[in-house]
Structure 1
Amino acid sequence: MKKNQHLIVKGNVIDRGQLKWGALMLPEHVRMLREWRDDEPAKHKPHLDEEELDLLQEEIGLAHQRQCMVELRYWSDGLATLSGVIVSIDLFSRTVQVLNGTKAVQIGFNDLLGIRLID
């Protein structure tokens, strides 16, 4: 039997979310809502909680210590990515300097969203 991936259990109630309203809406409205939902995250910077910030700090420290390739996700008027090696971490100016090929790029701590080590 195939499981319905749209079902969400909230307490004792099984909620189908937007699935239950799909039959009552015109296809044009559904398309417009999907487009609106896809555009929405790109307009606002995501907020990281304390646990995510701690994990991000640990990963940056480990990558700097190992001098290995990383892929950084950061916010620069939209979501952006950068691959390179972390050259320095400046606690005074609160920036991370990443060597991408031959050029060095500085990214502020407040703009960092995620990091992935590439070994």
Structure 2
Amino acid sequence: MSNDDIQDRGMKKWHGFMMPEHIGELKQAWIDSQKINMPLFDEDRIFEFEQLIRYAKDYNLYVDLSLFDDGFERKLFGYISSIDQLKKDIKVVTVEGIEIVRFDKILNVTVID
């Protein structure tokens, strides 16, 4: 009998040693390792974001927003319906509905002409 004739179960045999709590902790550790830190922007970059947002609102143009969402980057596509300078947020009309976005959560703004 040679080694080629042996039927090995592979990794299945090791899963019996892993408790569900360990598997959950490993998954959470992997998710935490994928998170990013919120970058700090200088005044010029913030001013550029504000100009692009105003331009998109004035001409009713489609925008692609990159947002910081709990350590991850999230994309949002839509039209800007209003800008609130006091609350420092904007209302974006998307396919799903209206979403309110805070200025300090914006990573990037792209206006699609």
For 1:38-49, what aligned pairs fall within 5 Å after superposition?
A: 42-49=35-42
Residue 41 of structure 1 and its aligned partner are, at CA, apart by 7.7
Structure-1 residue corresponding to 2:6? none
TM-score after normalising by structure 2: 0.66
**Take 1:66 and 1:56, find their aligned partners in 2: how far apart are those partners?**
16
Q: Deviations over 1:33-59 (max 9, x none)?
A: xxxxxx878331111111111111110
Given residue 55 of structure 1, which amino acid in structure 2 is its aligned partner? E
Q: Deviations over 1:55-89 (max 9, x none)?
A: 11110110010111000111111111100000000
Rg larger for: 2
**Take 1:74 and 1:91, find their aligned partners in 2: how far apart are those partners?**
18
For 1:30-69, what aligned pairs fall within 5 Å after superposition?
A: 42-69=35-62
Higher RCO (Cα < 8 Å, 6 or more apart) = 2
* Structure 1 gap segments, 5+ residues each: 1-38
Whether 2:94 is the aligned partner of 1:94: answer: no
Other structure's SS at 1:62 match: helix
Give the aligned CA root-mean-square deviation in angstroms: 1.7
For 1:99-110, what aligned pairs fall within 5 Å after superposition?
A: 99-110=93-104
1:40 to 1:57, Cα distance in 2 relative to 1, 3 A: farther
Whether 2:99 is the aligned partner of 1:114: answer: no
* Structure 2 gap segments, 5+ residues each: 1-31
1:41 to 1:63, Cα distance in 2 relative to 1, 3 A: farther
TM-score after normalising by structure 1: 0.63
Question: Following TM superposition, where does structure 1 have runs of at least 4 consecutive aligned residues deviating by more than 3 angstroms?
Answer: 39-42
